[in-house]
Amino acid sequence: MYRNDGFRELDRQESLRRLARAAVGRIVHTRDALPAVLPVNFLLAEDGAVLLRTSASSELVRAVDGAVVAFEADEVDVAAQSGWSVVVTGPASVVTDPDEHAHLVRTGPRSWVPWPVEVFIRIEADLVTGRELVGGRTLYGVELPP
């Protein structure tokens, strides 16, 4: 669906397809009652959940386990003034099932910084939204000068 402000809403499936090809995203959570944003690498599970791998002793694990968080990834072409953004919102939890953990060790996201003891965080895709900026600078469907 195109809107007259230059954005096109992406449906859930298209949003997840785009998210699957992104290399880095940002997890948004609460730290000391304030919003916190942390860039992370990730992997998108077949069910749409976002998977992160981090140190078992990280502040992130303590902050997000059992909390509702947002995860955002995007792709931007500055020269073309276009791009897309996808946000997944849902509860985050540390993967505790031994079989799932063993599977993720083999197939899950890789840490850019290996830790002695690593855990996986799963963010359920309860809400998936996406939008695309199409065709550069527009206002009500009219191209603006640079």
Cβ partners under 8 Å of residue 37, min gap 6: 26, 27, 28
Q: What is the pLDDT of residue 112?
A: 81
Residue 145 vs residue 63, higher pLDDT = 63
* Higher-confidence position of 80 and 62: 62
pLDDT digits (tens, 9 = 90+) for 12-47: 999 999 999 998 999 999 998 999 999 999 999 999
How many angstroms separate the CA atoms of 72 and 89, rounded? 9
Mean pLDDT of the chain: 88
Q: Across residues 83-103, what is the average pLDDT?
A: 95
Quote the pTM value: 0.85
Average pLDDT on 50-63 reads 93
Q: Reply yes or no on whether the pLDDT at 92 is more than 50.
A: yes
Task: Determine the Cα–Cα distance for residues 58 and 36; give it in Å rounded to an integer.
Answer: 14
> Is beta strand 24-31 parallel, antiparallel or unpaired with respect to 34-41?
antiparallel
Does residue 82 surpass a pLDDT of 50?
yes
- Taken in order of first residue, the domains within the chain and their CATH numbers are 7-141 (2.30.110.10)
pLDDT band, residue 138 (cuts 50/70/90): very low
For residue 114, what pLDDT band results from cuts at 50, 70 and 90?
Answer: confident
Supply 109's token pair. 């996201």
Quote the percentage of the chain above a pLDDT of 90.
68
Cα-Cα-Cα-Cα dihedral sign, residues 53, 56, 62, 68: positive
pLDDT greater than 70 at residue 141: no
